[in-house]
Structure formats: structure tokens, C-alpha cells
């Protein structure tokens, strides 16, 4: 009986310890306010949404320019490595095909 009680106490301590690390805390809040809920006239809301859309488009364009700027040096490295490798591979393959054709005749 004493052994079962100790096992139960040990199991209870284990479960309390395990649930202490299993607790999840969620902090939820609204990221964007609804465009139609602020009471402004439709024209004002449309202008605001259009301005926000243009801002997002410009930001996307800026990011594309930055990505291209980051990739430009790598394109040079790729050209120096890939182009000669492809030319050598293509030349060796062509030589092998010519050799096979000569043997057939």
C-alpha cells in the first residue's frame, strides 16, 4: 500500500512538472484596423487605401532592386565558373559523338 502511494505521488509530481512546461500563453491583438469601421467618408477611405497600396508597391520595388543588387556579384562568379564548365562539357560531348560516328563508317 505504501509503495502504491509513493508511486502515485511520484507520478503526480512528474505530471505537475510536465504541465508546467506545456502551458502556452497567447497574446492576440488586432494587426490592422478595418477600413470600413472608422467612420470616415468613402472617398477618404478609398484615398487612404490607395495610398497604402502605392506605398506597398514602392516597398516591393525597392526590395526587388536590393535583391538584384545582392545577386549581381554572384552572377559574375557564376559566369566565370559555369560558362567555361559548360563549354568544356559541350566540347567533350561533341568530340565523343564525332568519334562514335567515325567508328560507324
pLDDT, tens digit, 9 for 90 and up, residues 7-48: 888 888 888 877 777 767 788 877 666 655 677 888 898 999
Domain ranges of the chain: 2-104
Percent of the chain scored above 90 by pLDDT?
Answer: 25
Question: pTM of this prediction?
Answer: 0.41
- Residue-level pLDDT at 53: 95
- Residue-level pLDDT at 62: 97
Residues in Cβ contact with 48 at an 8 Å cutoff, skipping those fewer than 6 apart = 35, 40
pLDDT(102) > 70: no
Decide: residue 83, CB within 10 A, 0-12 exposed, 13-18 middle, 19+ buried: exposed
Amino acid at each position: 500500500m505504501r509503495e502504491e502511494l509513493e508511486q502515485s505521488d511520484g507520478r503526480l509530481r512528474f505530471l505537475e512538472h510536465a504541465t508546467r512546461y506545456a502551458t502556452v500563453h497567447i497574446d492576440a491583438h488586432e494587426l490592422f484596423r478595418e477600413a470600413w469601421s472608422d467612420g470616415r467618408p468613402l472617398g477618404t477611405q478609398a484615398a487612404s487605401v490607395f495610398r497604402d497600396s502605392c506605398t506597398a508597391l514602392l516597398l516591393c520595388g525597392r526590395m526587388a532592386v536590393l535583391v538584384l543588387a545582392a545577386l549581381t556579384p554572384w552572377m559574375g562568379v557564376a559566369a566565370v565558373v559555369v560558362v567555361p564548365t559548360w563549354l568544356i562539357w559541350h566540347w567533350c560531348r561533341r568530340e565523343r559523338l564525332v568519334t562514335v560516328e567515325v567508328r560507324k563508317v
